[in-house]
Amino acid sequence: MKPVFIALDFHNLTEVKQFMKNFSQTNNMCVKVGMEIFYSEGKNIIEYLQNKDINIFLDLKLYDIPTTVEKAAYELGKLKVQYITVHASGGSKMINAAKKGLVQAAKDYNLTDTTKILAVTELTSFSETQMQQEQAVNKSMPEMVTHLAKIAYQNGADGVICSALENEMIHQNTSEEFLCVNPGIRLSSDNNDDQQRVVNPKKARKLGSNGIVVGRSITKAEKPNAAYKQILNEWSSK
């Protein structure tokens, strides 16, 4: 799989199909399917992308009591996507339940690969001050993110969603194999929009990123395919 996930932040399948016309080769491409498009199109968007041999990161951020999350993860596991997300703040039992649901789905449906879990730590739209004030914690952002990452790691998650600024500390406190996937990625010429903890692709990789999520820098570009290639090149550059 390629290390760049394109965030398909569109309203419906028609918009996605129009956007995908920008790419002549989609084999092994990776995309993020978020709440907006999945709630609009459901399985239709998944089937469309899988028919184009595209790898899918289904970002629904499960957060509920363990029993409910286990059942939800089981259903998502049946979709044969590569990754799903849960909120790390849901706690050890919830994360463990999500893993159990995915493993059971793979077993029941004889799937070659079990869908992996990425746990969301702190949203990249959050500043440290906002986190401390609204969540009533006195930890720094890196400390809080690492704390949540350790809970996820110890309870069956395969990685976390975090800012690239926290990659090194997370790997030091979990393992090098534990995935750090980073949103909040922009080309240096782009506006940061609603993201607070933002880096460019080259810096993300230097900070130990295993993958990056890029939305507007590609989807809003005049030439999306060229922007995608530029980001891949930035990622690969020394």
List, by residue number, the catalytic residues: 59, 61, 64
218 burial (CB, 10 Å; 0-12 / 13-18 / 19+) is buried
14 is in an annotated binding site: no
124 is in an annotated binding site: yes
66 is in an annotated binding site: yes
187 is in an annotated binding site: no
26 is in an annotated binding site: no
Contacts of 238 (CB under 8 A, 6+ apart): none
Backbone angles phi, psi at 30, to 5 degrees: -125, 135
9 is in an annotated binding site: yes
215 is in an annotated binding site: yes
Long-range Cβ contacts of 109-114 (<8 Å, 24+ apart): 109/77, 109/78, 111/77, 111/80, 113/80, 113/82, 114/77
Feature table: binding site for substrate: 9, 32, 59-68, 124, 186, 195, 215-216
